[in-house]
Structure formats: structure tokens, C-alpha cells
Amino acid sequence: KTNVETSAYNKLNFYLRQIQSKTDFIPETAIVLGSGLGNFSDKVKKVCIINYSDIEDFPISTNKMHAGRFIFGYIESKPVVLMDGRIHYYEGYSMEQVVTPIRIMKMLGAKNLILTNAAGGIDSDFKPGDLMVITDQITSFVPSPLVGPNIEELGTRFPDMTHVYASDLINKLESIGKKYNLNLRKGVYLQTTGPNYETPSEIRAYKILGANAVGMSTACEAMVAVHCGMKVCGISCITNMAAGITGQPLDDKEVVEVAANVADKLETILYNLVIEM
């Protein structure tokens, strides 16, 4: 093993020890809350909250809208950890730093990962306020978070990405959607670096490539989760139509507003998914 290789894993263990000195909670499912979904934490019987800023050296979100904390607790009898506030590549962190909280949640014991986000709709059948179950992803426009010495303790050098999103979880999400009449969509999520929104020409290109929605997070998290053996699912809140689809300029206020408006629907899905898992 090279020094670098040992140090990436050592660093993760350094964070892990700090968290485990504050709580011995063992989560089964990890949930990443996207923009406007922070209220989901009201549904959790909280056991412990740890701010990222209280973990020495831990990457901290610079986005005021994302609080930046782990919330440990129960949804009914299910032990969960919420990642309330994520770190984005566009903030200037390396991809390795961006995915650090995902790896930490795995090392704390989480076997399942539920990802949520706000995304722009590329599919012309979509409309703002729709929820899309992610069936697959395109990460080719962002650096892979797995570049660098492989962390052997977590997974293999060349991980298979044929089934990033677990088909039984996709099916569960669909049946929850039917039960609650939520009109869920399905599709492929494409990640960009952000922070700029896309041009209409980029969106036309992404559409040809098979993307149904576009966003600035999630796919890199799903990738490392698969690498370290977690079972993954994801839901995008379509907050706006992507650039050029309607001709309207994009506005981050609209993104946050629409996400907040469909938060109830998404919370119903998350709650039911967790208790069925």
C-alpha cells in the first residue's frame, strides 16, 4: 500500500472516531436531503445531531440554504442517519471531499442510501413539481470521485456500474407512488459541475444522450455508495424545466420554492420507503 492510499482511509477513520465519540448509534439507512427538504427531520425521533463544523477537518457546506449536519434517529423502528445539507463540487471541494459524508455514513453502519435532489427537467413530458425516480445516471461530465488510489477497505478498483440504482427499491418507490397517487416519473439523471445552469445547447445535447433530468449533485454520491457496497435509490424533484425547454431564464429562488412546495409529497415517499426497507 502507498502512503496516500493509507491516508485516505485513515482520514475517514479520523472523522469516524470523532463521530463515534459523540454517539454509538448504528444507522441502517442513510438519507441525503436535497434543497428545501430539511423539514423531513421533523419526522425523525432524534437521538443525536452532529454539525459538520464540530468534526475536525470535515468539509463544511458554504451554502446558507444547507444546514450541514448529521441527524441520527428513528423513523418508527428504523434507525436512520440524515445528511441535512450536502457538499457540492461547485463550492470548490474536491470530488473526494464531496463524497466523504457518504463514506462516513457507510462506515457508521448504513447499508442503504436514499438520495434526494432538486433537478431541472429535460424530458418534455415533465413539469415543475414532478418527482422523478432515478433509474440510472450519467456522470461523464464531472470528475469521478473514485479517481486516485483505490480505498481497498471500501471497494474494488474497477466497480461495476450496471445497476447503480437498485431495481427492488425503484419498484418499491413506484408502488408507494401508486398507493399515494403521486404520479411519479422515472428517468436518467445527469450531473454537471455547476454552479452555472446549462445553456439550451447543452440541454439539447444531454437530451440526445439520454438524460431526463439535470442537476449538480447526487450521481457522484451514488457512485461511491455503489463502490462501497451500499444499496442506492434516488428521487429528483423537478423544480424547473432545464434551460431552453420553455425559454424562461432560470432562477434559484424558483428552485427552492418549488422544492419546498413538493416537500410533503417527497416526505411521504421517504417515510414509507424507510419503513418498508
Q: Does 189 bind ligand HPA (CB under 6 A)?
A: no
* CA separation for the pair 262, 53 (Å, rounded): 29
Q: Which residue from 72, 89, 197, 206 is in contact with ligand HPA, where contact means CB under 6 A? A: 197
Please report whether residue 258 would count as binding ligand HPA according to CB under 6 A: no
The only residue of 71, 240, 245, 263 in contact with ligand HPA, by rule CB under 6 A: 240
Nearer to ligand HPA, 108 or 119 (CB): 119
Number of H helices and number of E strands within the chain?
Answer: 8, 9
Query: What are the cell numbers at 101?
Result: 459524508
Helix, strand or coil for residue 187?
strand
Tell me the C-alpha distance between 251 and 258, whole Å. 11
| Rounded distance between C-alpha atoms, residue 2 and residue 8, angstroms | 10
Residue number with CB closer to ligand HPA (154 or 263): 263
Pair 12, 107: CB distance under 8 Å: yes
**Nearest distance from C-beta of residue 35 to ligand HPA, angstroms:** 8
269 in contact with ligand HPA (CB under 6 A): no
Please say whether the beta carbons of 191 and 215 come within 8 A: yes
Residue from 59, 73, 120, 155 that binds ligand HPA (CB under 6 A)?
Answer: 120
Residue 25 and residue 56 in contact, taking contact as beta carbons nearer than 8 Å: no
Size, binding site for ligand HPA by CB under 6 A: 13
Torsion region of 181: left, alpha or beta (phi above 0 gives left; psi -120 to 50 gives alpha): left
- Selected binder of ligand HPA within 250, 256, 260, 268 (CB under 6 A): 250
- Cα separation of the two ends of the chain: 37
Residue with smaller CB distance to ligand HPA, 25 or 197: 197
Part of the chain binding ligand HPA (CB under 6 A), chosen from 36-44, 96-104, 165-173, 208-216: 208-216
User: Binding to ligand HPA by residue 239, rule CB under 6 A?
Assistant: yes
Per-residue contact track with ligand HPA, 89 to 108, x per CB under 6 A? --------------------
Binding residues vs ligand HPA (CB under 6 A) = 118-120, 197-198, 214-216, 239-240, 242, 250, 255
